[in-house]
Structure 1
Amino acid sequence: MSTQIIFVLILTLLINLITTLSYAVRIVGVRTGRIAITFSLFNILVLFSRTANTLQAPLLAKTVEQDLQQHISSNMLVFRYIIFSCTAGSILGAFLIPTFQRLLSGAVAHFSVHKSIPRLFYLGFSGAGMLFIKESLKMPSREHLLELPDQRNFPWRIFLYNLAATAVITISVLSCVYAAYLNPSYRTTASNLSGVINGVATVLMALFIDPHLSILTDDVVLGKLAESSFRKYISYMVLARVGGTLLAQLLFLPCAQLIALLAEKV
């Protein structure tokens, strides 16, 4: 496996790790009462995630170009590994949520007083910051991990929307890049269709998932919903995300075949 593919695997894992941690941001915002500051600090990590995302596609496209020049007609295993790294990143993010909640709560408290991002970074890399990170390490409780969903109150509709949106987002760029193997003559067109595929998932997120989570967040702030119920709901969304990356393994090849066909027809 080439160095650039290993780099892509690491980037993909980090992107999905950060995306999974984003579910904890609402919990921290509710707990600290400073939702705006919480999201603002988390956006620093989002910037890193988006930067990594912009590097992923060109590196993959270069790999495909090199394979086609060497008359390699398929490299399916590499793409399967990349999708698996999405699952691994999501699972790792799920396990790190309790630790991340503590770290982000501390960052919000510090920033609320000093109002300085550079000072916050300086504290994070100082001896006291490293000690705080060590003290914040916490695994999810065994009871929480083994708890079965309540069938009566399980949000099936939002769960399935999140499952589908995650699966589509996971394979949007990958399937468009892989379509170059299936239809090399239209590989540039195929690579540019990722925005169309992402648009479907974005609609699901914007119209159904995000508004519903926002309503629940406001209900917790207003005292209409218990924080424990909200945390359970977030756990369901994390579970849907992990399941979506697994579903992506099944959808990857059919989606790539569809992209290869569309690239020729558009």
Structure 2
Amino acid sequence: MEVFTEKVLYIALFILVIHTIETLAYAVRMSGARVGRIASALALFNLMVIVSRMANMMQQPFTGSLIDAAPVENTLAFVEDQYRIIIGASTVGTLAGIVLLPTFIALFSRAIVHLSNNGGSVPVLLKTFTTKDYFKRGLHLFALPKRSYLKGFSLSNIPKRLFFVNMLVTSIYTIGVLSALYAALLAPDRASTAIMASGLINGVATILLVVFVDPKISVMADDVIQKRGSYSQLKNVSLLMITSRLLGTLLAQLLFIPGAHYIAWFTKFIV
């Protein structure tokens, strides 16, 4: 059987879009600091997070169906190859988010202002930004990253712990569902337990992100508004977090199989 099927392509595209959205979420705080409206920016940020999480939940049954459609012979290797393609799509999606970052900082800056001016109504905002006129304006804002965008970027004050925590959390979130599904193949007698563990894994990854990463970026954005910090510093740290996110999707390739074995082993203590 061919590994790269039409279903794998659709799932990979879905994952690509999810990781592009989550990468672009970093642009929201930068836009909020840019226009001086952090509260409105956080509302837009939360909306993007909810959309990406919902999209991630929607793709899970389709990803699981790849196991049901796998051949009887050489099942593990076949499923592994398919899942590695999907993990690779997360890396491509993150790269796409990096390429689109300057464009969406400009778009989100306008969206945040509109959201504040219309009383915080997201439906009104979506209605406004889906009109033909605003779509044309959005095309005029398209800009690829330039070397000048890195002006002032410095590695001297890198928050190393934040960098590695974000990288680890990203890798866990990327493979949480996939490793759990693969663990079901490794321990067929505990398959249901292994599959349900994916929710726990992603939940832990989300908690780590909320506790260790998000507050620090939000505080830095507040400091820009309060004139206690610079926008350049916020941009530097945001670019650093995006880089760690990209490396996290690459780390996911290394942790995929060990993670599946760990889940399969852990289920022994549950059943």
Taking structure 2 as the reference length, the TM-score comes to 0.89
Q: Distance in 1 between matches of 2:151 and 2:68?
A: 45
1:10 equivalent in alignment to 2:16? no
Equivalent residues of 1:167, 1:244 under 8 A apart = yes
Structure 1, residues 234-263: CA drift from partner, whole Å, max 9, x if none?
A: 100000000011011111111111111222
The partner residue of 1:215 within 216, 219, 225 is 219
Asked if 1:64 corresponds to 2:67, the answer is yes
**Does the C-alpha gap of structure 1 residues 214 and 107 become closer, same or farther in structure 2, counting only changes over 3 Å?**
closer
Matches within 5 A, 1:68-147: 70-74=72-76, 75-115=79-119, 116-144=121-149
Question: What is the CA–CA distance in structure 1 between the aligned matches of 2:12 and 2:34, rounded to whole Å?
Answer: 34
Structure 1 pair 49/243, CA: closer, same or farther in 2 (3 Å)?
Answer: same
Offset, 1:146: 9.2
- Identity level (%): 36
Give deviations 1:172-212, integer Å, cap 9, x for gaps.
11100111221222211101111332244234323321222
Alignment of 1:228-247 (within 5 A): 228-247=232-251
Task: Name structure 2 gaps, 5 residues minimum.
Answer: none
CA–CA separation in structure 2 for the residues paired with 1:125 and 1:154: 39
Tell me the residue number matched to 1:32: 35
Secondary structure at the aligned position of 1:223 is classed as: coil
CA RMSD for the aligned pairs?
2.1
C-alpha change, 1:28 and 1:146, in structure 2 (3 Å) is closer
Distance 1:110 1:26 in 2: 16
How far did 1:141 drift? 1.5
Structure 1's 181 and 146: CA in aligned 2 closer, same or farther, altered over 3 A? farther
Mapped contact 1:163–1:243 kept (Cα < 8 A): yes
Q: Distance in 1 between matches of 2:54 and 2:208?
A: 24
Matched residue type, 2:216: H
SS at match of 1:193: helix
Instruction: Find the aligned partners of 1:202 and 1:94 in 2 and give their Cα distance.
Output: 22
Identify the match of residue 159 of structure 1 among 145, 153, 163: 163
Question: SS state of the match for residue 100, structure 1?
Answer: helix
**What is the deviation of 1:47?**
3.7
CA distance in 2, matches of 1:42, 1:211: 13
Q: Distance in 1 between matches of 2:100 and 2:216?
A: 24
Give the drift of 1:131.
Answer: 1.8
Q: Could you list the runs of 5+ residues in structure 1 that have no partner in the other structure?
A: none
* Structure 2 letter corresponding to 1:50: R
After TM superposition, the score normalised by the length of structure 1 is 0.91
Shift of 1:265: 3.2
Q: What secondary structure does 2:180 align onto?
A: helix
C-alpha distance after superposition, 1:94-151 (max 9, x if no partner) = 111111111111122233333454443333233321221111101112244598742x
- Distance in 1 between residues matched to 2:27 and 2:214, nearest whole Å: 14
Task: Choose from 45, 49, 71 the match for 1:46.
Answer: 49
